[in-house]
Amino acid sequence: MDDLAHALLPQGFLRPFLVAAVIYGIRYVLLAGTAFLVWYARPAGGKLQRAMPRGAQIRREIAYSAIAVVIFGLVIGLISGYGIAPHTLLYLEVARYGWAYFWLSILVVILAHDAYFYWTHRLMHTPALFRIFHGVHHLSRNPTPWTAYAFHPLESVVQALGLVLIIFIIPLHPAALLIFHTISTAINVYGHLGYELYPRGWAQHPLGRWINTSVAHNTHHDQAHYNYGFYFLFWDRWMGTLDPSYEAKYRGSLAPGTAS
Ligand SMILES: [Zn+2]
Ligand SMILES: [Zn+2]
């Protein structure tokens, strides 16, 4: 794992930039592409919004996502190439904090990123900032798996800065970062999938009521209002920004186990 850490964090600007951009790009294409093939190649019942997306929407989403991948890579390259990495809390030997911390750190990063995403997302929905930062993401009222990284370049910078902030406050092994990002991208693709995967009754389940769902984020794209969370619904429930009809909408969606 420590060898992987050194491979993930080479020295200089160009190599870290290329390694990060390639990892971001391949992961996006694999996860979004697989989801697209499974759910859109032969459309199944249960789509949250009936209409299928047009080719122009998907081409736009992939183009903005490609720019996002380059920006994410650039930020990693800048951190590595301009002497910032030694000031972060990144560490290269798992033994330094042990395996229990390694796995715990992934959970902590998910919670920290959830808070960062919720508050920056709400900020970007203020009228002054929406058009500049976040309007591009909301061009997709009927999201697809490809919408996951479809950000305006300025919003891509905001998303990348979340990661920068996290590596300054939480000691992280690069492999933990890689696992976190893979989980994050998979959840991001699910949120934009256009189909619900959790079972019927999930929105009212004692655990499920705190977990963000594709229904919740699909509503966010459809209405550009409510449901600002990423992984969880903690912040939306605490701050009163959960769609009041969320549970009814969830029940009305054709979640697995729901009679259609
Ligand atoms: Zn979205
Ligand atoms: Zn939004």
The whole-number average pLDDT for the span 180-184 is: 96
What Å distances lie between residue 8 and 4, 23, 30, 66, 87, CA to CA? 6, 10, 19, 20, 17
Is residue 1 predicted with pLDDT exceeding 70?
Answer: no
The whole-number average pLDDT for the span 201-208 is: 95
- Ligand closest to the CA atom of residue 192: 1
pLDDT at position 7 is 62
- Ligand closest to the CA atom of residue 133: 2
Is residue 242 predicted with pLDDT exceeding 70?
Answer: yes
- Ligand closest to the CA atom of residue 130: 2
pLDDT (tens digit, 9 = 90+) per residue, 118-174? 999 999 999 999 999 999 999 999 999 999 999 999 999 999 999 899 999 999 999
Cα(173) to ligand 1 centroid in Å equals 28
Cα(112) to ligand 2 centroid in Å equals 19
Cα(90) to ligand 2 centroid in Å equals 30
Cα(144) to ligand 1 centroid in Å equals 9
pLDDT higher at 87 or 240: 240
Burial class (CB within 10 angstroms; exposed 0-12, middle 13-18, buried 19+) of 118: buried
Phi, psi of 193 (to 5 degrees): -60, -35
Is residue 255 predicted with pLDDT exceeding 80?
Answer: no
pTM: 0.91
Is residue 260 predicted with pLDDT exceeding 60?
Answer: no
Report the length, in residues, of the chain.
260
> Quick one: how far is CA 63 from the chain centroid?
17
pLDDT at position 150 is 96
Among 1-5, 50-54, 103-107, top mean pLDDT goes to: 103-107
Q: Tell me the H-state helices in 93-245.
A: 98-124, 127-129, 153-169, 174-191, 214-223, 234-239
Is residue 99 predicted with pLDDT exceeding 90?
Answer: yes
Is residue 228 predicted with pLDDT exceeding 70?
Answer: yes
- Ligand closest to the CA atom of residue 123: 2
- Ligand closest to the CA atom of residue 120: 2
Cα(229) to ligand 2 centroid in Å equals 9
Is residue 79 predicted with pLDDT exceeding 90?
Answer: no
Cα(221) to ligand 1 centroid in Å equals 6
The whole-number average pLDDT for the span 88-110 is: 96
pLDDT higher at 200 or 33: 33
